[in-house]
Chain A
């Protein structure tokens, strides 16, 4: 280490004081960090494992579902939208509007899927046709089986 010159001492103070200030500053910084880091991590919610079910069996009798109607069902932790088209075909989609996360409904007067929150419209294939939604609803596969309905997601 070179001897400090008089100029550097005049500008920045004696070496020992500079060192002690640095020690104090980093110490204070470390104390703050050791308090703030656990608090910040505490506030971030832990990851909950997504339900890995990619298939659900609904115990609704398919014969009870009238044409031109729709209802919400549980697909793991997400809502799903089950509809019977006016032509009698059962279809299912993700129930969350692609705009801002509201849950959609089936409008019998319009004959298609509608989101009440911001007036978004989807056709019977889940394609966004009017209003602000930017993307189609994700379609699911529906199979009717012995008076039950099996809804599955393509993996």
Chain B
């Protein structure tokens, strides 16, 4: 094997004998990307990775000015947006790349799910991918609070209370997340620690395993393509597919830059723990379907509180998705129970549910409460308060 390799420079040989570069090179060159009508879906994982790298870069830049305290967070973001040169750009790119990353991640997950790329021996690739999805959603949830504005404040109250209604462990988890009984400055510092230290550590670890497994097992060819006798050959990953990936990344960067320039991230009003939740309050779009479902649930279902039933149902759905490689018993070329053929309809039903609920969430009219004179008084709550022990 080694004799067939071309001679490299002396620097390569010096490094190779110390780092074992040839081993890495073999691993990188081993992978091939099958070419067939579903090849387009192979780009989404790499694109998510690229957007993650953008997040690391812009996130580090934001750390230079951001201050994680209830009295300064909002002001420090305003400073970034208005005073710091290109501050608006850095924050807007962080905002839009986060949204796009979650979008490509969901598309990646559903394409892998429907093309059944989680089949053996790729179960652990799927599980680490599910871990990456959970960590990324946690990134989104914790990052949303950091500007300390009204929307984020109430989104965090609701989001943490959702954890709180989980039976048995909920109460303790709620206090652990909030850093107390209420959403306060203590919650902000906690979310900051999660967002800027705990989650990055976790994601890098899981990501390393995920990418290693993708490299080790190569790309999965969908069963539908295999049934027709395979696709149109294969493309070496290095450098052919990687170069095509780069074109996609460049396109993603252009989209993020355009969105950041035309629709800069908003800041809204500073959080006030003693003000009513504003009309038209809503979470980020990727939590919208759950939010909207919670609106429709009745107060009580089968003797349990409606939101508990809803949250448990979402939890069950997530568990089914996470463990799908162990639920789906279809094996290539072997007959299986018709139930498993039904699974694809379940996934399409899930996608349809998410799309419909998200649409309904955005289509709902916002009641106009701003015109009412009495609501003004709500904005100044602390004025006349005097506690009697």
Contact = CB atoms under 8 A, between A and B. Distances in A.
Interface string B104-116: 0000000000000
B295 A71 contact: no
Given A107-B367, A116-B279, A116-B280, A71 B180 contact: no
Interface residues of B, number: 53
A49 to B, nearest CB: 11
B276 A116 contact: yes
B157 A132 contact: no
Given A48-B180, A100-B294, A116-B279, A76 B384 contact: no
Nearest to B179: A45
Interface in B6-61: none
Interface stretch (B87-95, B134-142, B249-257, B374-382): B374-382
A119 B387 contact: no
Given A128-B299, A132-B306, A105 B277 contact: yes
B386 A117 contact: no
Interface string B358-389: 00000000010100111101100111111111
Given A56-B386, A109-B372, A116 B305 contact: no
Interface stretch (A14-22, A31-39, A57-65): A57-65
Contacts of A119: 295
Contacts of A118: 158, 291, 294-295
Secondary structure of the A contact surface, majority rule: loop
B384 A131 contact: no
A45 B186 contact: yes
B381 A73 contact: yes
B278 interface: yes
A133 interface: yes
A138 interface: no
Which of B157, B276, B387 has most A Cβ within 10 Å? B276
Contacts of B388: 53, 55-57
B374 A74 contact: no
Given A44-B175, A76-B387, A103-B276, A134 B300 contact: yes
Nearest to B376: A71
B167 to A, nearest CB: 15
Interface in B281-301: 281, 291, 294-300
B307 A115 contact: no
A107 B289 CA distance: 26
Nearest to B184: A77
A43 interface: yes
Interface residues of A, number: 46
A106 interface: yes
Contacts of A58: 384-386
A82 B211 CA distance: 56
Contacts of B161: 100-101
Nearest to A117: B277
Nearest to A61: B384
Contacts of B278: 116
A117 B381 contact: no
B236 interface: no
A52 B388 CA distance: 10
Given A102-B158, A105-B277, A134-B306, A51 B374 contact: no
Interface in B130-173: 154, 157-158, 161-162, 164-165, 172
B367 A109 contact: yes
B372 A74 contact: no
Nearest to A118: B295
Contacts of B279: 105, 116
A105 B276 contact: yes
A108 B385 contact: no
B289 to A, nearest CB: 14
Contacts of A44: 172, 175-176
A86 to B, nearest CB: 12
Interface of B: 154, 157-158, 161-162, 164-165, 172, 175-176, 178-182, 186, 273-281, 291, 294-300, 305-307, 367, 369, 372-375, 377-378, 381-389
Given A100-B158, A105-B369, A116-B278, 12 more contacts: A44-B172, A72-B378, A74-B381, A100-B157, A100-B161, A103-B276, A105-B378, A109-B367, A117-B154, A118-B291, A132-B297, A132-B307
25 contacts: A51-B387, A56-B385, A57-B388, A58-B384, A59-B384, A69-B373, A69-B374, A70-B378, A73-B274, A73-B384, A74-B381, A79-B273, A100-B158, A103-B154, A104-B276, A105-B277, A105-B375, A105-B378, A108-B372, A108-B374, A119-B295, A132-B307, A134-B300, A134-B305, A134-B306
Top 5 closest pairs, chain A to chain B, by CB: A69-B374, A105-B276, A59-B384, A101-B161, A116-B277
